[in-house]
A and B are shown apart, each in its own frame.
Chain A
Amino acid sequence: MARKIIHIDMDAFYASVEQLDNPELIGKPVVVGGRPDSRGVVAACSYEARVFGIHSAMPCARAFARCPDAIFIVPRLGRYREISARIMEIFRSYTELVEPLSLDEAYLDVTDNSQGEPSATALAHRICRQIHEETGLTASAGVSFNKFLAKVASDLRKPNGISVITPEMAADFLAGLPIASFHGVGTVTAEKMARIGITRGADLLSWSLPRLVEHFGKQGVFFYHIVRGHDQRIVQPQRIRKSIGAETTLRRDTRDRTQIKQILTHLAERVSRSLCSRSTYCQTVTLKVRYANFVTITRSTTLARPLNRVEDIIHCVLPLLARTEAGQKKVRLLGIAAAKLTTAAADRPRQLLLPFPAPSGAADHCQSSRPSH
Chain B
Amino acid sequence: MSLKCTVQKDDFIEGLSVLQNVTNKRGTLAILSNILIEATTNGLVLTGTDLEVGLQIFVPAEVDAIGSLTLPSKKIYEIVRESGSASLVIEETENSWVTISAGKSVYNLAGIQSEEYPAFPEYDEEGLVPLEAPVFLDLIDKVIFSIAGEQENIYSLTSVLIEKEKIDSVSYLRMISSDGHRLSIMEKDVAVDVDHLGIEDITLIPKKGIQELRKFCENRDTIDVSFSRKQLVVKDKRAVMVVRLKHGEFPHYRAIVQAVPMDNCIKINRLLFLESLKRINLFTEDVFHTIQLRIEGETMVLSSQNADIGNAKDELKVTYDGEPLTLGFNCRYFIETLQVMECEEVEAYINSENSPCLMRSALDKGFTSIIMPMQL
Contact = CB atoms under 8 A, between A and B. Distances in A.
A294 interface: no
Given A218-B28, A356-B252, A356-B256, A351 B288 contact: yes
Interface string B270-299: 000000000000000000101000000000
Contacts of A357: 251-252, 255
Given A309-B307, A350-B374, A359 B249 contact: yes
Given A213-B51, A218-B51, A353 B181 contact: yes
Nearest to A359: B249
Contacts of B251: 354, 356-357, 359
B86 interface: no
A220 to B, nearest CB: 8
B307 A214 contact: no
B15 interface: no
Interface string B342-376: 00000000000010100000000000001011111
A309 B118 CA distance: 54
Given A210-B118, A213-B118, A355 B375 contact: no
B118 A354 contact: no
A353 B51 CA distance: 33
B167 interface: no
Contacts of B117: 210
Main secondary structure on chain A at its contact with chain B? Answer: loop
Contacts of B121: 214
Nearest to A311: B307
A217 interface: yes
A213 B244 CA distance: 12
A354 B146 CA distance: 13
B330 A351 contact: yes
Contact of A355 (B51, B256, B373, B376): B256
Nearest to B179: A354
Nearest to B180: A353
A349 B328 contact: yes
Contacts of A218: 28, 51-52
Interface string A43-77: 00000000000000000000000000000000000
A361 to B, nearest CB: 10
B181 A354 contact: yes
A349 B303 CA distance: 14
Nearest to B117: A210
Interface string B177-203: 010111100000000000000000000
Interface string A327-355: 00000000000000000000011111111
B116 interface: yes
A26 interface: no
Nearest to B259: A355
Interface string A212-229: 011001100100000000
Nearest to B253: A356
Contact of B118 (A214, A348, A350, A351): A214
Contacts of B118: 210, 213-214
A46 B376 CA distance: 47
A349 B374 contact: yes
B354 A352 contact: yes
Contacts of A359: 249, 251-252
A217 B178 CA distance: 25
B376 A351 contact: no
A357 B258 CA distance: 12
A354 B375 contact: no
B309 interface: no
A357 B116 CA distance: 47
Contact of B375 (A217, A309, A349): A349
B38 to A, nearest CB: 16
B29 interface: yes
Given A349-B288, A349-B328, A353-B181, A217 B52 contact: yes
Contacts of B256: 354-356
Nearest to B183: A354
B119 interface: yes
A234 B364 CA distance: 51
A32 B255 CA distance: 37
A47 to B, nearest CB: 33
A38 B354 CA distance: 32
A350 B51 CA distance: 38
A354 B182 contact: yes
Given A217-B244, A356-B255, A356-B256, A349 B370 contact: no
A355 B182 CA distance: 10
Contacts of A348: 288
Contacts of B51: 213, 217-218
Interface string B93-134: 000000000000000000000001111010000000000000
Nearest to A353: B180
A245 to B, nearest CB: 23
A352 B375 contact: yes
Interface string A169-184: 0000000000000000
Given A210-B119, A214-B119, A356-B180, 4 more contacts: A213-B118, A349-B288, A352-B374, A357-B251
5 contacts: A217-B244, A218-B52, A352-B373, A353-B180, A355-B356
Interface of A: 209-210, 213-214, 217-218, 221, 309, 348-357, 359
Interface of B: 28-29, 51-52, 116-119, 121, 178, 180-183, 244, 249, 251-253, 255-256, 259, 288, 290, 307, 328, 330, 354, 356, 370, 372-376
The 10 residue pairs across chains A and B that have the minimum distance between CB atoms: A356-B251, A352-B372, A349-B374, A350-B375, A349-B290, A357-B255, A351-B374, A349-B376, A213-B118, A357-B252
